Amino acid sequence: MNPSSTRSFDETLWAARCFAFLSPRLVDADPAHDMDHVRRVADMARALTVAEGARLEIVLPAAWLHDCVLLPKTSPQRARASTLAAEAAGEFLRLSGYPPSLIPAVEHAIVAHSFSAGIAPRTLEAKVVQDADRLDAIGAIGIARCLLLGGAQRKPLFDSAQPFPDQRPPDDTSNVLDHFYVKLLRLAELMHTASARAEAQQRTQFMQQFLAQLRREITPPAP
């Protein structure tokens, strides 16, 4: 494989190999980080790769393998999950005969995708993978994933005394709704690529409409 070109990259072959490696690792994944999430990230990453001129032979395996190690959000090791995933992915790719010269770039894209790790992506490919993963956290699918995960964690939907963090700091450790204000509504401004920024703006607008409708429905009617 020529590292400077994607023409000799067998996308179908490596997607299938990554899928086979990943599937057993996600058997017990939470409902927001299942195989469907990975497929969506891989599909979005491919679309961003085409739009932005990135290298598919780096983006694709990184997108498929970015969650190959998952730790609970409550784990003290949570911020290291992407580093552990990069190490596991790199070992898998080496044993599978992936070109050694490409693996460090794949590993970096995996390490840098995580919001909690706070590692800045240094390459276009890493930016594409991070953008693709963050796009799946917002919009209609982002709302669904947020509610699914909050339910799995047995969190209340909102603080019944102050449902919206208008007069208090948002705290997504105690309720689901505050996660929009802690993270999800901020993601559009953190996108790196022009294609992702445009999509993120539309998805963020949809979340804002959802929150406005929710506020209307749970606000007691005036006497």
In the CATH scheme, what architecture does the domain 1-120 have?
A: Orthogonal Bundle (1.10)
Write the class of the CATH domain 137-223.
mainly alpha
CB 138 within 8 A of CB 191: no
**Which are the contacts of 31, defined by CB distance < 8 A and separation ≥ 6?**
145, 148, 149, 152
pLDDT bin (cut points 50, 70, 90) of residue 6 is low
Backbone angles phi, psi at 219, to 5 degrees: -80, 125
The yes-or-no verdict on residue 171 having pLDDT over 70 is yes
Flag the least confident range among 9-13, 70-74, 112-116: 70-74
Q: Where are the domains positioned within the chain?
A: 1-120, 137-223
CB 155 within 8 A of CB 178: no
pLDDT bin (cut points 50, 70, 90) of residue 89 is very high
Q: What sign does the CA torsion over 2, 7, 8, 13 have?
A: positive
